[in-house]
């Protein structure tokens, strides 16, 4: 089963709100990723977790806060976002972080910041 699930599918939030995006995989993968994707652009890496530890932060603003409670779950906590943060947020997982292993993506959360 190569499935990554994400909730919610859609999210509309004001600039003062706090919300969280959730991601889950049951493939036994030990690497999980958050990406941001704008229209007609490829996914842009935000964070990488390897064995539940944050291994890459691509200089993402602190209003995005990732969390990996266990090997199957990944959260992205959102606070005080800006309208330009509106995008499709994608979660992905791979067997391990690094070489050779393809990443499997979830369906994404469409985030609109008003």
Partner 1 sequence: EDQVTQSPEALRLQEGESSSLNCSYTVSGLRGLFWYRQDPGKGPEFLFTLYSAGEEKEKERLKATLTKKESFLHITAPKPEDSATYLCAVQDNAGNNRKLIWGLGTSLAVNP
Residues near partner 1, by CB under 8 A = 2, 4, 6, 31, 40-43, 45, 48, 50, 55-56, 58, 88, 90, 92, 97-100, 102-108, 110
User: With respect to partner 1, which residue has the nearer C-beta, 4 or 78?
Assistant: 4
Distance, in Å, from the CA atom of 7 to the CA atom of 56, rounded to the nearest integer, reads: 23
Query: Shortest approach of partner 1 to residue 50 CB, angstroms?
Result: 8
User: With respect to partner 1, which residue has the nearer C-beta, 12 or 15?
Assistant: 12
Query: Shortest approach of partner 1 to residue 105 CB, angstroms?
Result: 4
User: With respect to partner 1, which residue has the nearer C-beta, 85 or 108?
Assistant: 108
User: With respect to partner 1, which residue has the nearer C-beta, 81 or 94?
Assistant: 94
Distance, in Å, from the CA atom of 90 to the CA atom of 46, rounded to the nearest integer, reads: 10
Query: Shortest approach of partner 1 to residue 8 CB, angstroms?
Result: 14
* Cβ pair 113, 61 in contact under 8 A: no
Query: Shortest approach of partner 1 to residue 58 CB, angstroms?
Result: 8
Place of tokens 């005080």: 80
């Amino acid at each position: 089963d190569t499935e990554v699930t994400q909730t919610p599918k859609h999210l509309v939030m004001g600039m003062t709100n706090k919300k969280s995006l959730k991601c889950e995989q049951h493939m036994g993968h030990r690497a999980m990723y958050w990406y941001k994707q704008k229209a007609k652009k490829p996914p842009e890496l935000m964070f990488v977790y390897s064995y539940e530890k944050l291994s890459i932060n691509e200089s993402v603003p602190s209003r995005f806060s990732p969390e990996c409670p266990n090997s199957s779950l990944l959260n992205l906590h959102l606070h005080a976002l800006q309208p330009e943060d509106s995008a499709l947020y994608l979660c992905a997982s791979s067997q391990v972080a690094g070489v050779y292993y393809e990443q499997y993506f979830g369906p994404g959360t469409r985030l609109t910041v008003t």
